[in-house]
Amino acid sequence: MTAEIIDGKAFAARIRGEVAGQVAALRRDHGIVPGLAVVLVGEDPASQVYVRNKHKQTVEAGMESFEHRLPVETSEEELLALVARLNADPAVHGILVQLPLPAQIDADKVIAAIDPAKDVDGFHISNVGLLATGQKALVPCTPLGCLMMLRDRLGSLSGREAVVIGRSNIVGKPMAQLLLRDSCTVTVAHSRTRDLAEVVRRAEIVVAAVGRPGMVTGDWIRPGATVIDVGINRIEDAETGKTRLVGDCDFESCAAVAGAITPVPGGVGPMTIACLLANTLTATCRAAGLPEPEELTA
């Protein structure tokens, strides 16, 4: 079998188009312009790429983008003061503090300081708790993008065997919550899982969010399974010496067995940014007491 390649880039472009349409309507009918504030502390090159892409796509969707670049030596107090200003600013509907943060700053403390209604990353405890109890929350962008691709390909996810590899707060755990909410039978695997290959072989849905290039190989994949590769790993190409992006799945061998698979790049990554814009629109609508775009939420 040769897997269908799920085009995350095209899917993300469709979502951004939808967001842009609704943003234009908000402006026309209510005079509201959604605003997204992105805070970057330090100069991590990968983070700079994401922040640049987010800014560009935010503006293209007709939203306001507020970028805050702070030096690497910024104190926790200074960052908390900025978050407080953004919480109070009515032009800001969404706040994203790029992770990871430098060592002198406690990320949990910063996330806790963000107004949950503006927490478009969905990392605040109150959004985490709302998601876990099946209530209306702001849902983390990466898992939300993965869920959209899975529903698009499979329709109902009810009763399906899903294995999530990775249990981080930003990907693995919220992914498992979303799959559970869609009535999958969910297994969460991690570094202590015994016989990971055997566990993954049961899955009709595999979500790999580990950070280990090519760890998941085709012999782990149940024939016909849908494989969502969240991993973003920069490796040096042995032949050219240039760095390139690869996922957590060995694409060639997995694609030979799977029914469908997301590529890296061009899979989950672009969906993450599209969902960030969708969450910003959702947060704006909720703040204004307007109906929210249901097809863009989980």
Ligand X SMILES: Nc1nc(=O)c2c([nH]1)NC[C@@H]1CN(c3ccc(C(=O)N[C@@H](CCC(=O)O)C(=O)O)cc3)C=[N+]21
Among all residues, which ones are annotated catalytic?
54, 98, 121
Q: Which is nearer to ligand X, 120 or 186 (CB)?
A: 120
Among 42, 102, 211, 266, binds ligand X (CB under 6 A): 266
Q: Which stretch binds ligand X (CB under 6 A): 15-23, 24-32, 152-160, 260-268?
A: 260-268
98 binds, among ligand X, ligand NDP, none (CB under 5 to 8 A by kind): ligand X
Task: Give the residue among 139, 164, 298 at the shortest CA–CA distance from 226.
Answer: 164
Residue 231 within binding range of ligand X, rule CB under 6 A: no
Cis before 100 (ω within 30): yes
Residue that has been written with the tokens 């049961």 in this structure: 202
Residue 210 within binding range of ligand NDP, rule CB under 6 A: yes
Q: Give the H or E element holding residue 235.
A: strand 233-236
Q: Give the H or E element holding residue 10.
A: helix 8-30
Binding mask 161-200 for ligand X (x = CB under 6 A): ----------------------------------------
Residue that has been written with the tokens 């399974």 in this structure: 225
- Window 155-194: residues binding ligand NDP (CB under 6 A): 165-168, 170-172, 189-193
Alpha carbon distance 131, 238 (integer Å) = 43
CA pseudo-torsion sign 53, 49, 87, 107: positive
Minimum Å gap between C-beta 45 and ligand X is 9
Residue 116 within binding range of ligand X, rule CB under 6 A: no
Distance of CA 82 to the CA centre of its chain: 24
Minimum Å gap between C-beta 27 and ligand NDP is 28
Q: What are phi and psi of 64, to 5 degrees?
A: -90, 135
**Count of beta carbons in the 10 Å neighbourhood of residue 225:** 25
Question: By CB under 6 A, how many residues form the interface with ligand X?
Answer: 19
Residue 57 within binding range of ligand X, rule CB under 6 A: no
Alpha carbon distance 69, 177 (integer Å) = 33
Residue 265 within binding range of ligand NDP, rule CB under 6 A: no
Q: Give the H or E element holding residue 146.
A: helix 141-154
Binding mask 73-112 for ligand X (x = CB under 6 A): -----------------------xxxx-------------
Minimum Å gap between C-beta 247 and ligand NDP is 8
Percent helix, percent strand, percent coil in the chain, to nearest 5: 45, 15, 40
Q: Quick one: DSSP state of residue 71? A: -
Q: Which residues bind ligand NDP (CB under 6 A)?
A: 142, 165-168, 170-172, 189-193, 196, 209-212, 230-233, 268-269, 272
Residues that bind ligand X (CB under 6 A): 49-50, 53, 96-99, 121, 141-142, 232, 245, 264-266, 269-270, 272-273
